[in-house]
Chain A
Amino acid sequence: MAELTQKERMKIPRQDMPVQGPEERVQNFNEVALGFTLDLARMEAERCLQCKEPHCMEGCPVQVKIPEFIEAVRVGDMVKAVQIMKSRNNLPAICGRVCPQEGQCESRCILGKKGEPVAIGRLERFVGDFALAKKAFGVIRGPSTGKKVAVVGSGPAGLSCAVDLGRMGHDVTIFESLHTPGGVLVYGIPEFRLPKEKVIRAEIETAAKALGIRILTDHVIGRTLTINELLAEYDAIFLGTGAGLPTFMRIPGINFNGVMSANEFLTRINLMKGYKFPEFDTPVKVGKRVAVIGAGNVAMDSARCALRLQSLRAGANGGATGAEVHIVYRRSSAEVPARLEEFHHAGEEGVIFDFLTSPVEILGDGKGTVRGMRCVRMKLGEPDQAGRRSPIPIEDSEFELEVDQVVFALGTDPNPLVFFNADGLERTRHGTVVANQETGRTTMKGIWAGGDVVTGAATVISAMGAGKRAAADIDRYLKGELDW
């Protein structure tokens, strides 16, 4: 392609990624977005103005050298693109799919001021998928330092910390409580957003192999081993145990059959592949009328999984009518905390949104199973100190919603199990670990923490950023450049 002038570049429209249409995709768990072809990627890369002082990088929590990797894509040098990408971000196939780019890198793109920003996330995903397909890791393990680091938890925070430490030549062991590494990437985020085998397993295995990282699954820290036992054997510990403890509303009826946490619903579906029952052994039930409480990404994932299960089961049963999935949220559409794209996808697929609605009681059928939900309508009051308008119940507005499944997606807290016998580790009253925001250092010498276990439930990329910052500090500490 001949070099384009700036004007010509500006005329290229933002390239759309091929996707499965809503009617088709709601009947399967396959990935919705199909990814750029090389031609589409190169066309999109042409749009980048190669700013001398790129603002996009400021919006990236791990400071990927965005214009450089995009330039490599533009000229078609994919190996170079992978190297540039992986010098900062080791898991681009994952980040390219789940980062909220509209609020990060893409929100700072200069093109976004007048038109649409460069599709940095889609390009990142393209580079990541290329690396996986070619099994190109792009970085090598540094000379061995002889220092041993234990990373607890193999979610986004632990993975990014482990991978960086591996590159620095440290001897890393990851302890994971489930039988598969990946944390929320495997049990939480559904297959249709983040393929488990093709992307997560491949990305983790490639990185672990290249960097000599040992992954011990089935190890529940707090039970199988304690933090203090790890401390005796390792030179440093990073806690990336996330926030996996589900929150239920304190209303009557939450223990009826059919009422569950989003964690349970999603774990049965994603980790245990319950959507393929009985080929896989873990059953998962889906109601004919499902209510998901909450409107974050986890709520959208739950609702969209429920829709797909309903379709799959209806197909098997010769078609069922009247199936509905509701998102019940106490604020309005303007306050929806989910990523815009997910909210949009859920709507396209047929999720019904009940805004300004809050459950007050779950109703049983007399045999221990949920048959409905008593709800109250809400209005928004004055903005609070954080600027969020708090919902207030409207008097005499109660009504019944007929549902036979209720999924609570109201956020999660850190699991206290991991802190068994680790009394020196200071925690907040919310159960999160007290840690320095820049370095990740906790109140116990030799222990760092980052990701949701420090911040409470947040995003994949912020956890990855925290893992990276902690790795840098652990490295300097282990080299003796910094005291505790």
Chain B
Amino acid sequence: MYNILEKKTLSDVTKLLVVEAPQVARKAKAGQFIIVLINDYGERIPLTIADHDSKAGTVTIIFQEVGKSTVQMGMMQVGDSFKAIVGPLGHPTEIENLGKVICVGGGVGIAPIYPIARELKAAGNHVISIIGARTKELLFWEDKMHAVSDELIVTTDDGSYGRKDLVTAPLKEILEGQPGQIAKIWAIGPAVMMKFAAATTKPFNVPTVVSLNTIMVDGTGMCGGCRVVTDDGAKFVCVDGPEFDAHKVDWQNLLSRMAFYRSEEQASVQRWREGHECNLRRTVGDGLP
């Protein structure tokens, strides 16, 4: 059983769970992901490993409540358990001492960028981190990112905290201000953010790595549902990735493929929310707000 040992609320819609999964924790490295399945009725969804403790046999996952499974996960409590936790999957991030690097984390992408920044720092790099979110409430781990970064820039789209900007604005400024000095960039966040990060860094010709979070089913290379078009041909994100050269990704195809099941996702989350509310009403009566 994969028991939940700890739960933290990072924002209204961003939750952190520490889950018992010794076989994953033993092997996990920065950049890898797991597949989780809530119960017998659930779907298999990929989540990046935000942190792990091989001694305690635990992995930390952070997710934003955007669909049925993540909303349901957000309601799970310490003591609840998952039906399946599979991994670690995908290739780990290649960590080397390159000099000066930039780590960009957008929204829930702050979670996966954290272990990468930490490893890069530990390997001797000068780490500049940029984290951003739509609004202040969606930001988290500023302190943790601060601890593993030489410089940290925080942005919000609405200016409710830090700099009022998209993460791509300070990214562009650094590249302009320190020409030829940035060795490599990692950018993780929503697909649209990564697309724009790729477009921002391309003119400067700085190698840019993104971590793709496509639709997956098995996560082990047997279905191809996660395939992405790159300049090197079609690749399976689950086994060839999840990290790819941002300048080689066909972003239009990626965004279109990620939207394929949108109507089903919306129907599913709506149906579940209504069902859940019905159950609550049955137990506590109609006194619900």
Contact A267 to B23, CB < 8 A, known contacts A177-B86, A260-B224, A367-B256 = no
A224 within 8 A of B: yes
A107 within 8 A of B: no
B58 within 8 A of A: no
A394 within 8 A of B: no
* B85 and A285 within 8 A (CB): no
For the complex, what is the distance from the CA of A338 to the CA of B89, rounded to whole Å? 34
Interface digits, B250-271 against A, CB 8 Å rule (1 contact, 0 not)?
1011001100110011011001
A320 within 8 A of B: no
* B42 and A281 within 8 A (CB): yes
* B44 and A282 within 8 A (CB): yes
For the complex, what is the distance from the CA of A223 to the CA of B242, rounded to whole Å? 14
B217 within 8 A of A: yes
For the complex, what is the distance from the CA of A257 to the CA of B222, rounded to whole Å? 18
Contacts of A225 in B (CB 8 A): 23, 27
For the complex, what is the distance from the CA of A59 to the CA of B149, rounded to whole Å? 68
**Stretch of A27-35, A41-49, A85-93, A241-249 on the interface side:** A241-249
- From the candidates B27, B224, B253, B272, name the one contacting A248 in the complex (CB within 8 A): B224
For the complex, what is the distance from the CA of A263 to the CA of B221, rounded to whole Å? 10
* A224 and B23 within 8 A (CB): yes
For the complex, what is the distance from the CA of A260 to the CA of B239, rounded to whole Å? 17
A205 within 8 A of B: no
For the complex, what is the distance from the CA of A254 to the CA of B225, rounded to whole Å? 12
Most buried by B among A260, A278, A415: A278
Contacts of A263 in B (CB 8 A): 222-224
The minimal Cβ–Cβ distance linking B200 to chain A, given in whole angstroms, is: 24
* A244 and B221 within 8 A (CB): yes
For the complex, what is the distance from the CA of A225 to the CA of B86, rounded to whole Å? 12
For the complex, what is the distance from the CA of A258 to the CA of B261, rounded to whole Å? 10
A283 within 8 A of B: yes
* A179 and B41 within 8 A (CB): no
Q: Name the residue of chain A whose CB is nearest to the CB of B217.
A: A267
Interface digits, A413-445 against B, CB 8 Å rule (1 contact, 0 not)?
001110000000000000000000000000000
Dominant SS among interface residues on chain B: mixed
B84 within 8 A of A: yes
Contacts of A178 in B (CB 8 A): 218
B165 within 8 A of A: no
* B43 and A179 within 8 A (CB): no
* B42 and A264 within 8 A (CB): no
* A245 and B222 within 8 A (CB): yes
* B23 and A218 within 8 A (CB): yes
Contacts of A415 in B (CB 8 A): 220-222
Contacts of B217 in A (CB 8 A): 264, 267-268, 272, 282
B109 within 8 A of A: no
Contact A281 to B224, CB < 8 A, known contacts A257-B257, A267-B217, A368-B252 = no
Q: Name the residue of chain B whose CB is nearest to the CB of A408.
A: B224
A261 within 8 A of B: yes
* A223 and B89 within 8 A (CB): yes
For the complex, what is the distance from the CA of A9 to the CA of B267, rounded to whole Å? 60
- From the candidates A224, A278, A285, A416, name the one contacting B271 in the complex (CB within 8 A): A278
B106 within 8 A of A: no
Q: Name the residue of chain B whose CB is nearest to the CB of A219.
A: B23
For the complex, what is the distance from the CA of A272 to the CA of B44, rounded to whole Å? 8
Interface digits, B57-85 against A, CB 8 Å rule (1 contact, 0 not)?
00000000000110000000000000111
A396 within 8 A of B: no
A399 within 8 A of B: no
For the complex, what is the distance from the CA of A248 to the CA of B225, rounded to whole Å? 12
For the complex, what is the distance from the CA of A367 to the CA of B265, rounded to whole Å? 19
The minimal Cβ–Cβ distance linking B73 to chain A, given in whole angstroms, is: 12
- From the candidates A261, A280, A285, name the one contacting B260 in the complex (CB within 8 A): A285
Contacts of B256 in A (CB 8 A): 257, 367-369
* B234 and A248 within 8 A (CB): yes
Interface digits, A238-280 against B, CB 8 Å rule (1 contact, 0 not)?
0000001110100000110110110110011000110001111
For the complex, what is the distance from the CA of A43 to the CA of B185, rounded to whole Å? 74
* B264 and A277 within 8 A (CB): yes
Q: Name the residue of chain B whose CB is nearest to the CB of A226.
A: B27
A220 within 8 A of B: yes
* A261 and B224 within 8 A (CB): yes
B37 within 8 A of A: yes
B87 within 8 A of A: yes
For the complex, what is the distance from the CA of A417 to the CA of B224, rounded to whole Å? 14
* A285 and B264 within 8 A (CB): yes
Contacts of B13 in A (CB 8 A): none
Interface residues of A, Cβ cutoff 8 Å to B? 177-179, 187, 217-220, 223-225, 244-246, 248, 254-255, 257-258, 260-261, 263-264, 267-268, 272-273, 277-283, 285, 367-369, 412, 415-417
Interface residues of B, Cβ cutoff 8 Å to A? 23-24, 27, 37-38, 41-44, 68-69, 83-89, 217-218, 220-225, 227, 229, 234, 239, 250, 252-253, 256-257, 260-261, 264-265, 267-268, 271-272
Closest 3 CB pairs of A and B: A368-B256, A283-B264, A264-B223
- 11 of the cross-chain contacts (CB-CB < 8 Å) are A179-B37, A224-B87, A255-B229, A260-B223, A263-B222, A277-B264, A278-B264, A278-B272, A280-B42, A281-B43, A283-B261
- Extra pairs beyond A267-B222, A277-B264, A368-B252 (10, CB < 8 Å): A177-B220, A220-B89, A223-B89, A224-B87, A260-B224, A272-B44, A281-B41, A281-B43, A283-B261, A367-B256
